[in-house]
Structure 1
C-alpha cells in the first residue's frame, strides 16, 4: 500500500516538473518569436526612414545648390523654405554639419551662423537636458558638429559624470570642436585621461580637432604638471611644425617620467639634424631601454658616423630592441658602419654576434630591391666588404629560359 502511494507521489512530481519544463520552453519560444518580430519591425522602420531621408534630400536639392552657390555673398544665407517635419529638419541639419566639416574660414563661419539662425543650436541645447541618455548623446554630437561654444559647459559636465566607454569619445570630440578657450580643451583631456586608460594617441587626435591655436595649446600641455597631459602634447607634436615648443622639448628629454622622457627623446631626435657627442652618449646610456632604442634608431638616418663605436657597443645591450635598432643604424652608415657590423659578427660573441649576423643577412638579401644606380653601387661596396670578411659564396649557375646551352662534348 505504501509502495503504491509512493509511486503515485513520484509520478505526480514528475508530471509537475514536466509541465514546468513545457511552460519554460513555450515562454522561451515566445520571447524568441517576439524578438524576431521586433527585429523585423526595426528593419522596416529603418528602411522607411532611409527612404524618407532620400526623398527629403531630393526635395531640398535646389536649396542645397542655392547654399553652395551663394556662400560668397555678403548677405546672410536664407533658411530652408516651408514648414519642416522633424526628420526633414534633421536631414537639412546633417547637410549643414557635413559642410561645416568640409569648409574652413569664412565659409564655415557662415554655415555655423545658418545653424543658429535656423534654431538648430537652441533645439539641441534643450535636448541636452533630456532624461534619455540617447537623446542627450545625439544632441552632444550635433552641437559639436555645429561648433556650438555655449554648449561646452554642459558637455563637460556630461563627460565628467559618465563612465569610460566609447560613447564618451563622442562627447570629447564635440568639446574639442566647440571649445573657445584652451582651458576647456585641457579640462576635457584631463577628464578623459582620469580613467587611467592608455589612450594618449586617441586623446591627441581628439585635441587636434579643435579650432583654437594649436601652438599655444601645445605649450600649455607640455608645461602642465600632469605627466599624462604632457604625453598627449608630445604625441600631438608629431607632424606639427611648432618651433616655439623646441626649448620645452629639450627640457623634457631629462624628465623623471619614463614615458614622457621616451616620447620626448623620439621627437627630439627626429627634429634635430645634428646632435652633440655628449648628448648622444647620454641618450645611448639612458636607464630606459625605450630611450636607448630611439637614440640608436635615429643615429642611422642622421648619418652620425662618429657614433659607430657606441652602436657597436649597443649590440651587446640586454634589450633586443636596442640591439636591433643599433644593427639597423650601422647598416645605414655606409661602408664604415657595415664594416663595423661585419667585424662584430666575426669577432663578437653571443647576442652581439647574433644581432650583427641577422642584420648582415637582411642587407645581403636586398640585392633585388635596388633599382637606382646609387643603390646598386652602395650594395656592391657592401658585398665586397662582406666577401672580404666571410669569403665568397659560390652562386649556382642560373640558366636563362628560352636559350639553348652552348658548348659540351660533340665527339659522339
Structure 2
C-alpha cells in the first residue's frame, strides 16, 4: 500500500461524505428539543478539538498510520493489543452501517424483501469496492460526491419552498437553560459522528504530503459540521419538538411531506439515494480501516482479509433481533460508553507518549 497516492481533494471529499454518512438518519440532540442546533454545535466544537489532536499526532510522525503509531510508541505487545481493539471497533461500526442500510431499504423502498437478502447484496458490493484498495475507493467517492451534494441541496430548497418550514418551532431559545444542550452533546454527539474522524489517522499517511492537508481537513470539518447542524434542525422546523424526537427516521418523514404537484411526488426516493451514498461510504471506510489494520497486525495482504471480514460483518449485522434493539445498543450503550475509549482516551494516551518520548530523545 503506497504512501502519497491519494490527493488531498479526494481525502477531504471522503471526510465530508463520511461525516454526513448516516447522521441525517437520526435527530441528534433530541433531549435539547428546539435547542438541538446548539447541542450539535457544542458536539462539533468538542469534536473539532479531537480533530486537532488527530492532526497533531499525524504531524509528529506523518509516515505512520494509526496502527503503526500504536505499535511503535506503545511497544510490540501493548500496541498490537490496542490495534486488535481498533480493528474490532472499525468492524463493528461497519456492521452497524450495514444493518442501517438494510433497515432503511425495507422502511423506504423494499418492504416485502427479506432483510438477509438486502444485507447480503450490500456486503458483497462494498466488499468488492474495498478489495480494490484505498485509491479506487477514494476516486469512486469523488464521482458520488456531486450526486450527494445536489440531492441535499434540492431537499434544502424544496422544504421551505413547499411551506413546510416553521421558524417558530425553534423558539424559545434556551427555554430550559444550557444544560440540556450540553448533556445531549457530551458524549453522544461528540462520539457520533464527530469523534469518528479517528479513523482518518489510517488514511492521512496515504495522502500526498503538503502544508494544505491540515488546513483542508479543518475547513472540510467545519463545513460538514455546519451542514449537519442545519439539516438536523430541519427536523425541528418541520415536525416540531414533540413529533420529531418520536420518529424512527425523522428526516425521511420530513422529506415525504414534500409535494409539488406534477413535479416532485417521491422526494423520499431522492433522500434514500443520498443516504445510500453516505451509508455505503461510511461502511466502506470503516471496512477498509479494519482490513488495513489486519494487514498491519498479521503482515498478510489486506485483500486476503476482505472475504473473511465480509462474512463477519454479515454475522454481526444480525446481532440485534430488531431495529429498536439495534438503535438502543448503538446510540444508548456503544456511543456513550465504548467509543469514547477509542476516540478520546487512546488518542490522548498516544499523543502523551509521543510527546514524552520526543522530549527524552531531545
TM-score (norm 1): 0.18
Question: Could you say which structure has the greater relative contact order, defined with CA pairs below 8 angstroms and 6 or more residues apart?
Answer: 2
Instruction: Give the structure with the higher percent helix.
Output: 2
TM-score (norm 2): 0.20
